[in-house]
Amino acid sequence: MLRRGSSAKFMPNSSVFPGGVLDKSDLCFPREKTNFVEGTQSPIRLELADDFALRVCALRELFEEAGLLPVVEGEKRVVANAGEDAHLAEWRRKVMVKPALFSQLFHNRFQMDVSSLIPWSNWLTPFEPRPTPRFNTAFFLFLLTTPKPQKVRHCVKEMAEAEWTEPSQIIGKNTKGEVSLPPPQFYELSRIQRIECFKNEGKIREMVDPKRKTPHSFRVDGSALRVHALPGDYLYDETNPDFKPPVYGDEKELSPPYPKDGTKPMHRMIFYAEEDKLRYHKLKLCVNIPNKVFATF
């Protein structure tokens, strides 16, 4: 996980996954410099012909922000690390200045391992009445099968720190109010916790969730409580999924504890957003509807 700096315009001081904005050079990256399997029909494409450019973007941003780069070197899959390789560190500096140079790093014996990424989920930033950037985001999962790199040198211009952590550990810190964890990160970490009980990639791929999620935000006037309703929740407006403005609701209805009899379908996150504290803390996931992702709830 990476922690964004206090001066970041988007999600300051929050712990996030590596990632960023699709660059035009990602769209024209030479496919022969990767191990992409042509004809692959990804469930998450963000209206592109395929997800190739999204995979390139994901690994380029991982390289820029954390210095890590999954590659196929000869016949072997490895995670190259700019923190342990001066030559790679120099390339990282170049790519951070000019992303179009990224393709020059690769050749036929050093290919980008884009096929190692598993399409995982799709999130769209909640709609706000005031002009606010919205990001249509594809999340990918990478299964690390080799020992984790020991030296991770985060991008100091964008991030304050980097750490290897278990999902349960960072969720626990958020519950205690020690770290800010944006709702999509919290939700996906909650799902990733369940991977530990699966031993094969096929089972993991069954958890892929291609349907785009746009949280519908509910607030209580004068309270720091926020409720993000998701598809299936009785508060979620299926007729207006992507452009539902924040709604100020009744404190009694929105505040926990919630009824446990299942009469009202729930699929939501609750958290607290206090100006003098962390932006997203004390998150909790509330699900009482059957689904393949949270079958135990």
DSSP strand pairing (216-219 vs 247-248): parallel
The verdict on residue 103 lying in a domain is: yes
Q: Which domain holds residue 194?
A: 165-287
Which residue, of 75, 107, 142, is where some domain finishes? Answer: 142
* 240 and 182 in a common domain: yes
Task: Write b or e for each residue in 147-158: b if 16 or more Cβ atoms lie within 10 A of its Cβ, otherwise e.
Answer: eebeebbbbeeb
* 127 and 7 in a common domain: yes
* 215 and 124 in a common domain: no
* 42 and 169 in a common domain: no
pLDDT in the model for residue 297: 35
Question: Per residue in 26-76, pLDDT tens?
Answer: 999 999 999 999 888 899 999 999 999 999 999 999 999 999 999 999 989
* 174 and 276 in a common domain: yes
The verdict on residue 171 lying in a domain is: yes
* 95 and 197 in a common domain: no
Task: Write b or e for each residue in 93-107: b if 16 or more Cβ atoms lie within 10 A of its Cβ, otherwise e.
Answer: eebbeebeebbebbe
pLDDT in the model for residue 43: 93
Domain count, the chain: 2
Contact 187, 229 (CB under 8 A): no
pLDDT in the model for residue 292: 54
pLDDT in the model for residue 199: 65
Computed over every residue of the chain, the mean pLDDT equals 90
| The pLDDT of residue 131 is above 50 | yes
CATH code of 59's domain: 3.90.79.10
pLDDT in the model for residue 291: 65
In this prediction, residue 276 has a pLDDT band, given cuts at 50, 70 and 90, of low
* 73 and 7 in a common domain: yes
The verdict on residue 149 lying in a domain is: no
Q: 3-class DSSP state for residue 138?
A: strand
The verdict on residue 109 lying in a domain is: yes
| The pLDDT of residue 139 is above 90 | yes
The verdict on residue 296 lying in a domain is: no
| Calpha distance 184→101 (Å, rounded) | 31
In this prediction, residue 126 has a pLDDT band, given cuts at 50, 70 and 90, of very high
The verdict on residue 124 lying in a domain is: yes
Instruction: Read off the pTM.
Output: 0.92
4-32 average pLDDT score: 90
